[in-house]
Structure 1
Amino acid sequence: MAQPRKSSRKPKIVLSELDYDRLTGLAEAVEDRSPEIAEELQAEIDRANVVPNGSVPANVVQMGSIIEYQSDGGETKSVTLVFPGDADIASGRISILTPIGTALIGLSPGQSITWTARDGKEHQLTVVSVKQPEAQPAPQA
């Protein structure tokens, strides 16, 4: 009996116009010093379905989203996807410029993706839930 093959096809993803623009700029900004990272991020951006700002469903990973995912080892983790200057692994704030950060962008619960860590090992993760950060109240005058 033949073994089922893992699909190397990546899941469909969605990006807002704002995230598309900001991430494209970020990929271009790091291209000279980190070409592999820039190329991987640009590949994810290029395959996204880009929709108007405010049209991304609330359960889709966007910049600032809080994501709960299950690793291929069965461990469940919760992280927040952030820009590089806001990254803090100890606080669970992972940069979009990390392999796992790039893999998460645009996914929704139930979707899985295979990603390659910086050590060259392949991993798979499955998104369990996505929460958007709470809107900050406007400052009082």
Structure 2
Amino acid sequence: MTIVSSRRTLRRPPITVSQEDFDRLYALAEAAADRQPEVAENLLGELERAKVVPASKLRSAVVGMGSRVTFEDEVTGKVQTVELVFPGEADIAAGRISILTPIGVALLGLSAGQSISWETRSGERRQLKVHAVEQPS
């Protein structure tokens, strides 16, 4: 199964992204296409379907770059809080998740209360639900 076809079969709620995040992430995905083609393709796919708005119009409960997100893995019941960051800032031990990971791409643009199906790098399907979103101060 290709990434494109698997993306279509996963449940994808509507997402919203700021224009600034869209511009930076689009450039990042294009730059990462040779090194991480699957994640780059998934990120570009999410950006293509996103509603893009000026940062001033983005609701505070929407996951963007730098947001702290509390979510539940609906398969395991595990709840965790992470910060969505650019690759150079990622540190799993400190709870900073790169946008260039499958879960980072899945979280982008979601709002509190939304759920999404996504695939791990090993192809395992997971379901997560966003409980809370905090923006950087």
Structure-1-length-normalised TM-score: 0.88
Q: Distance in 2 between matches of 1:40 and 1:60?
A: 19
Once the 2 structures are TM-superposed, how far is the Cα of residue 33 of structure 1 from its aligned partner?
Answer: 1.5
Residues 89-137 of structure 1 show CA distances to partners (whole Å, capped at 9, x for unaligned) of 0000000000000000000011000110011101010000000011xxx
CA contact (8 A) 2:10 2:118 kept: no
The number of aligned residues is: 128
Runs of 5+ consecutive residues of structure 2 not aligned to the other structure: 1-8
Q: Give 1:11-22 correspondences, 5 Å limit.
A: 11-22=13-24
**Matches of residues 97-116 of structure 1 in structure 2 within 5 Å?**
97-116=100-119
Overall identity of the aligned pairs, in %: 54
**Higher Cα Rg: structure 1 or 2?**
1
Structure 2 residue identity aligned to 1:129: A
The verdict on how the C-alpha distance between 1:88 and 1:70 changes in structure 2, with shifts beyond 3 A counting, is same
Unaligned ranges ≥5, structure 1: 1-6, 135-141
Using structure 2 for the length normalisation, give the TM-score.
0.91
| Separation (CA, whole Å) in 1 of partners of 2:11 and 2:98 | 24
Which residue matches 1:30?
A: 32
What is the alpha-carbon distance in structure 2 between the residues aligned to residue 86 and residue 113 of structure 1? 24
Q: Tell me which residue corresponds to 2:88.
A: 85
Structure having the higher helix fraction is 2
